[in-house]
Structure 1
Amino acid sequence: MTFKAFLHVQHLLGTGHAVRAARLGQALVARGVEVTLATGNLLPPTLDTSGLTVVSLPPVRSPDAVFNRLVTPEGVEIDEAWRAARVAATLNAFAAQDYDLLLTETYPFGRRMFEFELGELVRVAKDRARPPLIATSIRDILVRKQELWKEEWMADTALAFFDRVLVHSDPAFVQLSDSFPFAERIDHLVRYTGFVGGAPRAASAGSDGTDEVIVSCGGGAVAIGLLEAALAARSLSTRAGDTTWRLLVGHDIADDAFAAFRARAPEGVIVERARPDFPDLLTRARLSVSQAGYNTVLDLLIAGTPCVFVPFAQVKETEQTQRAEALAAHGRAVVVAEAGLTPDKLAKAADEALALPRKQTQVRLGGAETSADILIQDLKERFA
């Protein structure tokens, strides 16, 4: 029997959600599943979606880190007519085939702003004469909510509609209960998969990255302060002032801002767009300077490169700080606060990080493949 899966992903600022969803989808495809990936935002140009049927829903994003508004790619705030069109597009895409699996990325453990769409999607799926297996895919650490009732709602929704909760983490490194107070209530739904990522990716041409400081920022939408500090930090560093600093500017940063960074780059600093061979660059680098997003941290765990983390922590964000501090506790990183970041503070953190031993941290990988195996076993049990 050939199973059919419908994966829904909505990234708002960073690209990590889309990256994980695509990798999980490709792992299912490798096991014979037909996968449709419905994306609620424009996918990054570096993302490999080969093997997937991509459905582009009306795109929307967050204009800032407050996450209390949604806008189109042109910056127009959405309205009720847009919401109705988005729900219709999602439900039409889901109705196009008799799917055996519905997999949401993050929801209901986030994306409450999309309850108008995703709540309707899971209700429609649950009400089918032949309901699909309904699962959700969540990262290692959730963003804590100030209102406890919101976290309780997450657990209630999971219990009401979901058959499986895939947590893309190594429980020896970080557990769901570390960032979710109602983890025990849904424990019977949870399966730890290991981290998603770590598969072979594009190799670098030539020797780029060798003994360099690699400064990265994912999509870059909330990393202007980090890039600004990095431009001037090289000359202030005693341990890394003699080598090239390569700043990888994410594709969410506008072309005019990118051009301005390039024009201002001092001697010894290269500014270029984010590259698909980023993990390969890290294996040769002297130091990594970055935020602490899920995919970047995983690449660094594998590479073993000394690192400085400037975790994204604007407004109510807690996830990256908790992840960065976990690595610092393992002696793998130096953490410097995003608030008040200066070139001097970044240079001092770089010098401190370069005094750390270069080592790999052993964590469970293969999360996409394990997730696919878990879901296929669940599907066989459901539809056997």
Structure 2
Amino acid sequence: MARVLISVTHLLGTGHLSRALTLARAFGTAGHEAHVMSGGMPVAHLPTDGVTLHQLPPVKSDGVNFTDLLCENGPVDDTYLQARKRAAINTLTKVRPDVFITELYPFGRRVLKAEFLAMLNTARDMAPKPLILCSVRDILAPPSKPKKALETEAVIAGYYDGVLVHSVGEITPLDVSWPVTNMLREKLLYTGYVAPELAPAHPQGVGTGEVLVTAGGGDVGMGLFRAALQAAALDPDTPYRVLVGGAAAQSNIAALFDEGLSDNVTIEPTRPDFRQMLPLAKAAICMCGYNTALDVLQSGLPAVFVPFDAGGEVEQTLRAESLSKTDGYAVIKSSDANGETLSAALRSVCAMDVRPMEEGQFQGAAQTVQSVENKLAAMR
């Protein structure tokens, strides 16, 4: 049995934390001691069974401005960040992991560079030194300057034993979004997509025949929701269910009600049984974050993706464009999303036969555990 510690900080949505917890649960299921150190805002709806969760003093981004961090009381200062760093080091030294995994860093979260480097230095100086790995999704935010890629390369070379890429290399290699050098390529370990087990259909039949509208678990998506409500008004015979996430869910729901709804619309907060609704639904209108995209792909549900692209973000757009090459999926830019464009795209994807992906391609959590076990065995 190995002790595994995953360090993750989600700043806007909840996808990074959700994926880290899925990995941690897989390690626990395999008999390992699983820990997650979370530096983002607490999230109540994500399952933590079989995982020890360590909460750092939390931070979040100021909307899509990822360089200015906020805490619950406003902007963070150096005193707050130093307290986070101490808490992170204390957690690391208390757990004394055999495997230390940083989620996204050094490919992202550079605003927390000092914190991550302090943890990496602490881990590297431990005796015995833990296996140090990085965990990244299929598509990264491409480096805006060559200097950022070079800095990332130096950190990988100096500290890391491998990079876990949660993708199928033949479908979405890391090269799609990041310059992969020979040194980096030798460290890449493709695991397949990290997703929970395929959810059974909802026992109460919730979602049957509906168009499900979601922007994930973060405080984004009002533009998507408004466009979907316009589409619902044009299609009164189809039930629409709009699921609103984030800390501001209730106020955002109230704002949508104030704008007026057609009779075929249900609006409610994000539901923990969302994945069980997918197999019964007619189609989905959603953003294209990693976890949402995988939920849709697993279910075989037709979907219209409206990727998040505020603040120059390109990750979801790259993912959506890749998926749209397959029958049953369409992409609409957020600036083009309205009732008419969504309605037309829905009619198109619902007329297609969606070809389900192989279930083995979604076993990224189990394959991650196997890859880590193989690396540990080679070290001993």
Cα deviation per residue 1:231-253 (whole Å; 9 max; x = unaligned)? 2211224xxx4110000111333
Matching of residues 224-303 of structure 1 within 5 Å? 224-237=222-235, 241-262=236-257, 264-303=260-299
**Is the alpha carbon distance of 1:198 and 1:52 closer, same or farther for their aligned partners in structure 2, counting shifts above 3 Å?**
closer
- Equivalent in the alignment of 2:18: 19
1:285: how far off? 1.0
- Residue 69 of structure 1 aligns to a residue whose secondary structure is strand
* 2-structure distance, mates of 1:294, 1:184: 26
* 2-structure distance, mates of 1:260, 1:315: 23
1:63 aligns with 2:59: no
1:183: how far off? 4.4
* 2-structure distance, mates of 1:188, 1:150: 20
- Equivalent in the alignment of 1:199: 197
* 2-structure distance, mates of 1:303, 1:254: 25
1:305 aligns with 2:332: no
Give the counterpart letter for 1:69 in structure 2.
D
- Equivalent in the alignment of 1:376: 373
- Equivalent in the alignment of 1:322: 318
Matching of residues 141-180 of structure 1 within 5 Å? 141-180=139-178
* 2-structure distance, mates of 1:254, 1:294: 21
2:95 maps to which of 76, 94, 97: 97
8 A contact 2:327–2:355 mirrored in 1:
no
**Is the alpha carbon distance of 1:372 and 1:103 closer, same or farther for their aligned partners in structure 2, counting shifts above 3 Å?**
same
Give the counterpart letter for 1:146 in structure 2.
S
Cα deviation per residue 1:109-149 (whole Å; 9 max; x = unaligned)? 11111101001110111122321110011000011122121
Give the counterpart letter for 1:61 in structure 2.
K
**Is the alpha carbon distance of 1:374 and 1:245 closer, same or farther for their aligned partners in structure 2, counting shifts above 3 Å?**
same
**Is the alpha carbon distance of 1:42 and 1:202 closer, same or farther for their aligned partners in structure 2, counting shifts above 3 Å?**
farther
Give the counterpart letter for 1:33 in structure 2.
H
- Equivalent in the alignment of 2:215: 217
**Is the alpha carbon distance of 1:201 and 1:47 closer, same or farther for their aligned partners in structure 2, counting shifts above 3 Å?**
farther
**Is the alpha carbon distance of 1:194 and 1:203 closer, same or farther for their aligned partners in structure 2, counting shifts above 3 Å?**
same
Once the two structures are overlaid, the 10-residue window that deviates more, 193-202 or 160-169, is 193-202
**Is the alpha carbon distance of 1:167 and 1:120 closer, same or farther for their aligned partners in structure 2, counting shifts above 3 Å?**
same
8 A contact 1:202–1:277 mirrored in 2:
no
- Residue 151 of structure 1 aligns to a residue whose secondary structure is helix
TM-score of the two chains, using structure 2 as the length reference: 0.95
**Is the alpha carbon distance of 1:112 and 1:64 closer, same or farther for their aligned partners in structure 2, counting shifts above 3 Å?**
same
* 2-structure distance, mates of 1:277, 1:365: 19
* 1-structure distance, mates of 2:253, 2:170: 40
- Equivalent in the alignment of 2:362: 365
1:287: how far off? 0.9
1:67: how far off? 1.4
Measured on the aligned residues, the alpha-carbon RMSD in Å equals 1.6
* 1-structure distance, mates of 2:190, 2:154: 20
Cα deviation per residue 1:226-283 (whole Å; 9 max; x = unaligned)? 011112211224xxx4110000111333422223324533210000111122122111
1:52 aligns with 2:51: yes
* 2-structure distance, mates of 1:83, 1:153: 22
TM-score of the two chains, using structure 1 as the length reference: 0.94
Once the two structures are overlaid, the 10-residue window that deviates more, 360-369 or 117-126, is 360-369
1:7: how far off? 1.1
* 1-structure distance, mates of 2:257, 2:70: 29
1:201: how far off? 4.1
The total of aligned residue pairs comes to 378
2:112 maps to which of 111, 114, 118: 114
8 A contact 2:207–2:278 mirrored in 1:
yes
8 A contact 1:201–1:276 mirrored in 2:
no
**Is the alpha carbon distance of 1:202 and 1:88 closer, same or farther for their aligned partners in structure 2, counting shifts above 3 Å?**
farther
8 A contact 2:42–2:58 mirrored in 1:
no
- Residue 334 of structure 2 aligns to a residue whose secondary structure is coil
* 2-structure distance, mates of 1:106, 1:23: 15
2:184 maps to which of 179, 183, 186: 186
Give the counterpart letter for 2:365 in structure 1.
A
Cα deviation per residue 1:187-230 (whole Å; 9 max; x = unaligned)? 11111000000414475241211111010110142211101111
Give the counterpart letter for 2:254 in structure 1.
A
8 A contact 1:265–1:271 mirrored in 2:
no
- Equivalent in the alignment of 1:351: 347
* 1-structure distance, mates of 2:292, 2:271: 13
* 1-structure distance, mates of 2:328, 2:64: 27
1:348: how far off? 2.3
8 A contact 1:17–1:105 mirrored in 2:
yes
Unaligned 5+ runs, structure 1: none
* 2-structure distance, mates of 1:369, 1:262: 42
* 2-structure distance, mates of 1:207, 1:4: 40
**Is the alpha carbon distance of 1:129 and 1:99 closer, same or farther for their aligned partners in structure 2, counting shifts above 3 Å?**
same
8 A contact 2:210–2:241 mirrored in 1:
yes
